[in-house]
Amino acid sequence: MIPPIAGRFVAGETVPEALEHTRETNERGIGVILNLLGEHYHERDPADADAETYCRLLADMAGTDLQACLSVKPSQLGLDVSEDVFRENLARVVEAADEHGRFVWIDMEDHTTTDATLDAFEHHAREHGDVGVCVQANLKRTAADVDRLADLPGKVRLVKGAYDPPADLAYEDRERVDEAYRDLLERMFVEFDDGIAVGSHDPAMIAHARDLHAEYGTPYEIQMLMGVREDSQERLATDHEVWQYAPYGDKWFAYFYRRVLERKENARFAIRAIVN
């Protein structure tokens, strides 16, 4: 069982718990992006198993009115085993989602996975359309990637980037990353037609997106993590499309630990929970 201290950031260990979290979040006007925790498998069996779990989750959501979709990690579906294994498992998940009328996001991991991830997205975007991919503003290559993606159907999520790429490949200064995010977001509002996902908890970036939408009219949604600034999520949902990224599963400890370390307010929450 997930302790309450971690339950703020993780939607349970089981599918029923994840679906119940989805129902409760939907009642607050917020959609849910479900992600089964698991990554960096170096054997095929666990990658195949997680792909099958996603397919069963899609079947469980069939016939419900849940506002929910999936997000998968390439290394979870076997990219560290081989690109062929990743492609095969991703195809299984996307085909199941297509059968049940659900959307699939493909997460972006560290810089070594970018080409394989974008190639797989392009294939499924052309075949199915209801897929999305994430790009990271801190990578210097992302401007060229955005130009490539502008010609494809599907959606693109822009985040600042949580990994630590080599200095020659990435912007390291926080202000420079913010500048890149702003520039990339404007480029996406100008060039994209199918919609943009603003993956940020930064009020300045969300306000920038609002201004760009007013200027260019491109549809967009806001995506935030479960447990992070949930008051803002609910407030924004009154006049924006807001989605919450909600992980679930028994591999919750490492994810919870990362959330606590990355923001002072998360650390304060954890300390208060322990003291109480």
Which residue numbers are catalytic? 107, 157
Instruction: State in Å, rounded, how far the first CA of the chain is from the last one.
Output: 19
Locate all alpha helices (DSSP H) within the chain, ordered by sequence: 4-7, 15-26, 44-61, 83-100, 114-127, 142-149, 174-191, 203-216, 230-236, 252-262, 264-275
| Lookup result for tokens 């029923």 | 16
| Lookup result for tokens 């392009």 | 122
Distances (CA, A) of 53 to 44, 107, 130, 161, 184: 14, 17, 20, 27, 35
Distances (CA, A) of 52 to 14, 17, 45, 55, 125: 15, 18, 11, 5, 21
The token pair that represents 205 in the structure block:
């970036």
Residue 22 near residue 66, CB atoms below 8 Å: yes
